[in-house]
Structure 1
């Protein structure tokens, strides 16, 4: 029997509140996932700092990215995940190569961070926390009765509050990345910029996944318990949701 594929990233938070142990390492893709995520950035910044040759740096980084995808496909891993990773690295490399500036390898990251800041901020303004939408969509995948699905977790005040908190925290993370890295970009300090990007990448991601789990685990557990009680007693009124 094939072992079920472990969820990574925000999808791992969909299991919060269950009896199974939560693993930050699994949530960020395991040791191999960490290495594969960080390796292109490490190779790019180290090779450029050593050689100052942008064409060589871009070429080696591109070959490495393609090899990673080929290995994934040979091992019959997710083609979507492999392709998305190659696309992201490819955009960064092409941007740096076309502009003839190594620092522009990091421009795509700035844009994605800014996009997430705007998107998450809008979700808080309209009082529908985006991370709540993402986690609940993964957890219960509404195929019909979208309004009932939305009301189900939005009316659970402790759960909605937890989703609001972690959405605000992730806005803080994306903002901090820009606050630290953009000045390094503007002063063309590629070595320090690459180092900051690496340190504020997977390590920050792992920390925020863990903090997010701690915040939502208890309210999600209570939310699931309410549903379990309602399913066991279908003839009775659904238990009242907690308001505090």
Structure 2
């Protein structure tokens, strides 16, 4: 993941920089493919009355995740990230296989979104906004960004955008889950994965930037005590 300079000498482009730090949509697309494979396999197996359509669907999802994992590893992605993605799909498939209900393939995702919304919200309240933790770690700043009150406030504001994405998913997923709408859940899962992540990335910078006063040097340059270290304009 590249870390381009946030403070370009003549023509800064902070939007693109933040987007690169938060990552592209590759991982989100990877998470969508096994879901599509599950829904397609279940729909076909159920339509032709094959035995254990949930098992066919779960196998298709795991196979799709495995293929993606191999491709990503050959492309240089870390094995740990690949294995975690595969494990998530395998657990979801096992839950559905255990209950015998295809809709339960999405249960792990629903629980994960609920937990994520809670964790992100708590991180904001205790003044350790997760967006700051992620970006600060990516930039090698450790916790220096927390000593800049303007940057801390900006990360808090922008982290609410990420809380919002989890709540949007829950508002859509839960009713569909309760209605046992497997195909609709698969479509919603696909639509609300990488497009929603991309939207969050796009909105994060302007929300964060609204907390930074004129003269602030940007994300790469946390300012201890703000006023004392900010260059005069």
- TM bucket normalised to smaller: 0.7 to 0.9
Please say if 1:64 is aligned against 2:64: yes
Aligned to 1:78: 78
Could you say if the C-alpha distance between residues 226 and 196 of structure 1 is closer, same or farther in structure 2, counting changes exceeding 3 Å? closer
Tell me the TM-score normalised to structure 2 length. 0.77
What is the rounded CA distance, in whole Å, between the counterparts of 1:76 and 1:57 in structure 2?
29
Please say if 1:152 is aligned against 2:144: no
Question: Contact 2:116/2:166 (CA < 8 Å) preserved in 1?
Answer: yes
Root-mean-square deviation (CA, aligned residues, Å) is 3.4
The 5 A counterparts of 1:3-18 are 5-6=1-2
Aligned to 1:233: none
Larger helix share, 1 or 2: 1
What is the rounded CA distance, in whole Å, between the counterparts of 1:59 and 1:160 in structure 2?
45
What is the rounded CA distance, in whole Å, between the counterparts of 1:204 and 1:188 in structure 2?
23
Tell me the TM-score normalised to structure 1 length. 0.74
What is the rounded CA distance, in whole Å, between the counterparts of 1:98 and 1:187 in structure 2?
19
Q: CA deviation at 1:47?
A: 2.2
Which stretch shows the higher mean deviation, 211-220 or 48-57? 211-220
What is the rounded CA distance, in whole Å, between the counterparts of 1:205 and 1:193 in structure 2?
18
What is the rounded CA distance, in whole Å, between the counterparts of 1:217 and 1:77 in structure 2?
31
Where in structure 1 are there 5+ consecutive unaligned residues? 8-13, 231-236
Q: CA-to-partner distance for each residue in 1:107-132, whole Å, 9 max, x for gaps?
A: 11111111111112212322332322
**Equivalent position to 1:192, from 163, 184, 191:** 184
What is the rounded CA distance, in whole Å, between the counterparts of 1:224 and 1:178 in structure 2?
33
Question: Contact 1:15/1:139 (CA < 8 Å) preserved in 2?
Answer: no
Aligned to 1:165: 157
Please say if 1:45 is aligned against 2:39: yes
Where in structure 2 are there 5+ consecutive unaligned residues? 47-52
Could you say if the C-alpha distance between residues 102 and 137 of structure 1 is closer, same or farther in structure 2, counting changes exceeding 3 Å? same
More RCO (CA 8 Å, sep 6+):
1
Q: CA-to-partner distance for each residue in 1:70-91, whole Å, 9 max, x for gaps?
A: 2333444321221121111111
What is the rounded CA distance, in whole Å, between the counterparts of 1:140 and 1:125 in structure 2?
24
Q: CA deviation at 1:202?
A: 0.8
Aligned to 2:197: 205
What is the rounded CA distance, in whole Å, between the counterparts of 1:123 and 1:139 in structure 2?
19
Please say if 1:100 is aligned against 2:100: yes
